[in-house]
Amino acid sequence: MIGPKVEAGRQRILVVDDHEAVLGGTVSLLKQQYPDSDLLTAQTAKEAQQIVANTPLELVVMDLSIPEASGETARTETGINLLRTVMQKHPTLNIVVQSAYTKALVRLKPAINAHEGGFTIADKSLSLKEMLIRVDWALQGIVYTPREMRIGLELKPEWLEVLKLAFEQGLQDKTIAEKMNVAERTVRHYWTQVQDALEVYPETGKNIRIQTEMRAREEGLID
Amino acid sequence: MKHRRHSFQQSLQQWLRREIGLWRIGALPGLLIILIVVIARFTGNLQSFETNLLDLFLRLRPSEPIDPRILIVGIDEQDIQTIGTYPIPDGTLAGLLRTLQRHDPAVIGLDLFRDLPVEPGHAAWVETLKQTPSLIGIQKVLADAGNRPIAPPRGLSPQQVGFADAIPDEDGNVRRSLLGLTDRQGVYQFSFTSRLAEKYLATRGITLENGLRDPVAMRFDRTELTRFTPNAGGYVHADANGNQILINFRRGRNPFRIVSLTDVMADNVPDDWIRDRIVLVGVTALSAKDMIPSNALKGRNPSVVYGVEIQAHAVSQIVSAVLDHRPLLNVWADTWEYFWIIGWGLLGISLGRMLRSPFKVLLLLGMTTLLLLASSFALLMGGWWVPVAPALLVLVLNGAGLTASLFYQHEQDLKAKLHDRQLMIDQAFDAIHNGPLQTLARTLRNLQAENRTTDPIYAELKQLNQELRSVYESMRREALSQDSSLQVSSDLELNLENPLHESLYEVFSHTLSRDFPHFKQLRLTLPTFEAIDDRRLSLEQKRGICRFLEEALCNAGKYAQGMTRLEVVCKQAGDRNIIRVTDNGSSDLQHQDKWAIATGGRGTEQAKVLARQLSGRFQRFPNTPQGMICELSWPIRRSWFKPLHFSANPTE
């Protein structure tokens, strides 16, 4: 099921959910928040995959418990597989996962950590306001995963290196990229990931880099 | 106590039921093989296999001492050269008989057809026959393969004549000896063998009588010569006409004394070689063509012996049985033979049931086969020819391949069933998740939107939400406790069909949340889990790798004192896959040995076995400045000849 006609140059959002009522609710909420965007919908993994493959998208909001094709039973496994494929094929796509069952997502943690687009998880029982914040974060390329998905402080070695180069040597992203022999875009991706690991998220009136430095120092990650 | 016995009975019953269930499926092909082999034997398809094995066994027996009761006077090539004519003239034979008579043998058997006079010296020959009452001559009574019957030497009384006919098997070998038969005129005739034995034993006061168990059989004293039947031993529909017995050939390079005609004429033969002995006169010259194939004897010319030698064996076995209790060759009744075959077949099936490791099955199969051969051989030494070949067939066929693999397959089916059940539970949860939980979530959200979070109903709904979710968790645990082999630790189930690095991350995440003393001070974990090439790994190997990681992490949690930092790497580096766990715990030297001690060396041993399976390497070495590094690495391309199957079943 494909939503309103796609207009060129406008922000496109895909909502995946097999419950018509939930789907309708989410779509109308997003429509309100982003009146200038086109909203597309899919009720099965198959449909979603087709849309993702054929349409340039800014954001996918998806439920994990979906059926493979219409008429089949909705299963968390199907959503996980869809998510894995989408992240593999579109590493910069912004994604919001609507699921309360984060345990199932733990196994995708390596893929989430490697994902370069925004990625947030929003439980369906979240208030509408909070839900919209998560959507907004995803669109900004921010990563948010709930604390249950982490074991204490869990960092990839590259992220630690970014912290050290930035805060111990005061380097800029461009220089860090050169030093680490990666693209500048990758360094930015490391920042979003390490911020999620340190649980530093945007707050009005606060500088996120400085917040990150403070947390890193608190944790003894940098001297 | 009573209760315990009751529960023991119950579990025994359960075990029995399970076992019978397994046997019904797993043993079916095995039973089929037994049936096929039994039918093959019944229809005669195994006869040559069985008789050849009998020959082999007879040849393998240890040598017996020479039988001093028998002397063979073999007319050899040189004798014929010396005399210059063949057949040997009557006069020469008369001379030989007279010379032998001087030493007074118990009986002389003349294994030569002399139905026609051979001059010179025929008159002297007729005269000598009359004066030699201890002489037995031969005739041929059966008309077979274009050969007509041959009359006995003229001048011998009927009691001095025995027939020399032999009934070879289909492969040409002679394994049976004829004792008597009814000729075409309806007259019962004794064979050369039985005449000689009768005459010799008569000198010892033992007379020929009818059998006690079988009135048609012959009997000397207490030795009854059990008649050969068409289906005796390995034979099927054999020609059992007349009265026959199997020949238990005398084993040894020289079972009988053999002298030449010239030796006798020149008086070169010791008196006691002839006196009171059975003297057999026959041809031992290749040119005379009185030869019979016999694989049971190692002849000079492989497997061919002279007719007179076969006669010697036949007479010797009867006389030795009566006087020395040397065993004759006997067979079991058909029923017992089939019991024996089926028994070994069932043993073969149970090998596959008892052991799963192919090497152990092979080893035990080898031992059982040896036992079968040894016991069959021992029985043959005691005179019992048992069906070795069919028993060997059912044992090896059942033990080796089919049964083991089928039991294995069946077990796989059981696992699949468990998996299906897990799937059903997942589906049940999904149903709860998709229906009531969605409604609940919406309701909760609406309540929030209406700012009614202080409403008691809000709290109750939240509670309900929690309870429904905990139902799933408990169902999940319930299902997992049924079969521990499907899971890594107590409450983490992995779907090993997923990419290996995902499963490994799950293990990592799960293990670190477990309650180990040295995870408490852990301040930083540095996990790197990248996709690795796992296409060549079997599920069993993937499980092994997951267990390895779990074990390595658990050990860090248990023994890495003061560990604050833990680095876990799972990645592809060049053409190798690497799994590495690095801790910075106390560099206490004993720390590195604690793993081995705590697991009784099993953890390390399993890791080594796993590394071998993967053609890879397992290492544990100190980290600098402190801590331990535990690493498993293996090449992505594996050599083909390494066993693909991971048979060890690691337990928690």
Equal fold, A12-148 vs A157-218: no
pLDDT at B600 over 50: no
- pLDDT tens-digit profile of B532-581? 888 878 777 888 888 889 888 888 888 888 888 999 999 998 889 999 99
Distances (CA, A) of A114 to A187, A208, B52, B373, B430: 12, 21, 72, 66, 28
- pLDDT tens-digit profile of A65-86? 899 988 888 888 889 999 999 9
List, in sequence order, the alpha helices (H) in chain A.
Answer: 20-33, 45-54, 76-89, 109-114, 128-139, 157-167, 173-180, 184-197, 208-218
Contact (CB<8Å) B433/A65: yes
> In the structure encoding, which two tokens stand for residue B518, read together?
């040295």
Q: What is the mean pLDDT of residues A42-70?
A: 92
What is the least distance, in Å, from the CA of A124 to any CA of chain B? 6
- pLDDT tens-digit profile of B91-123? 888 999 999 999 999 999 999 888 888 888 888
Residue A127 with chain B: CB contacts under 8 Å: 445, 448-449
At CA B508, angle to CA A107 and CA A151, rounded to 5? 85
Q: How far is CA B511 from the centre of its chain?
A: 48
pLDDT for residue B633: 93
> In the structure encoding, which two tokens stand for residue B629, read together?
């590094």
Contact (CB<8Å) B528/A156: yes
pLDDT at B472 over 70: no
Q: Residue B73 pairs with which residues in a beta bridge?
A: B259, B281
- pLDDT tens-digit profile of A18-45? 888 788 888 988 999 999 899 999 999 9
What is the least distance, in Å, from the CA of B460 to any CA of chain A? 14
- pLDDT tens-digit profile of B475-524? 655 554 443 333 444 456 667 777 889 889 988 988 888 778 888 888 88
What is the least distance, in Å, from the CA of A153 to any CA of chain B? 5
Angle between helices B334-354 and B358-381 (to 10 degrees): 160
Residue A110 with chain B: CB contacts under 8 Å: 501-502, 505, 527, 529-531
Picking from B233, B209, B232, B203, the residue whose alpha carbon sits closest to that of residue B222 is B209
Residues 6+ apart with CB under 8 A from B36: none
Residue B440 with chain A: CB contacts under 8 Å: 125
B54 or B409, higher pLDDT? B54
B171 or A212, higher pLDDT? A212
Substitution target from A26, A75, A87 for chain B, most B beta carbons within 10 A: A75
CB neighbour class for B539 (10 Å; exposed up to 12, middle 13-18, buried from 19)? exposed
ipTM of the complex as predicted: 0.88
Residue A215 with chain B: CB contacts under 8 Å: none
Nearest to A107 among B498, B522, B523 (CB): B498
- pLDDT tens-digit profile of B617-643? 998 888 888 888 999 999 987 544 444
- pLDDT tens-digit profile of B177-231? 989 988 888 888 899 999 999 999 999 888 888 888 888 888 898 888 888 888 8
Q: What is the mean pLDDT of residues A138-161?
A: 90
Residue of B nearest to A159 (CA): B526
> In the structure encoding, which two tokens stand for residue B633, read together?
């690495």
pLDDT for residue B475: 63
pTM (2 d.p.)? 0.50
pLDDT at B353 over 60: yes
pLDDT for residue B648: 38
Which CATH code fits A12-148?
3.40.50.2300
Contact (CB<8Å) A156/B526: yes
What is the least distance, in Å, from the CA of B439 to any CA of chain A? 9
- pLDDT tens-digit profile of B58-87? 888 888 899 999 999 998 888 888 888 888
pLDDT at A180 over 80: yes
Q: What is the mean pLDDT of residues B14-38?
A: 78
B410 or B236, higher pLDDT? B236
Q: What is the mean pLDDT of residues B351-360?
A: 68
Nearest to B426 among A19, A75, A219 (CB): A75
- pLDDT tens-digit profile of A82-101? 999 999 999 999 999 988 67
Give the SS3 label for residue B623: coil
Chain A residues at the B interface, defined by Cβ less than 8 Å, are: 18-19, 21-22, 25, 65, 73-77, 100-101, 106-111, 114, 123-128, 149, 151-157, 160, 219-221
Nearest to A151 among B498, B525, B530 (CB): B525
Which H or E run includes B580?
A: strand B576-583
pLDDT for residue A90: 93
* B487-652: CATH, from 3.40.50.1820, 2.60.120.330, 3.30.565.10, 3.90.1170.50: 3.30.565.10
How many A×B Cβ pairs under 8 Å? Answer: 99
What is the least distance, in Å, from the CA of B350 to any CA of chain A? 42
Of the listed ranges A6-20, B11-25, B64-78, B364-378, the least confidently predicted one is B11-25
Residue B522 with chain A: CB contacts under 8 Å: 152
Nearest to B502 among A110, A151, A155 (CB): A110
Question: A223: pLDDT confidence band, cut at 50, 70 and 90?
Answer: confident
So where are chain A's domains? Answer: 12-148, 157-218
Averaged pLDDT score across all residues of chain B: 81
- pLDDT tens-digit profile of B260-296? 999 998 888 898 999 999 999 998 887 766 777 677 7
pLDDT at A5 over 50: no
Distances (CA, A) of B332 to B229, B232, B244, B384: 11, 8, 16, 7
The CA distance from B503 to B480, in Å, is: 17
- pLDDT tens-digit profile of A181-209? 999 999 999 999 999 999 999 988 899 99
Nearest to B502 among A25, A107, A157 (CB): A107
Which CATH code fits A157-218?
1.10.10.10
pLDDT for residue B590: 52
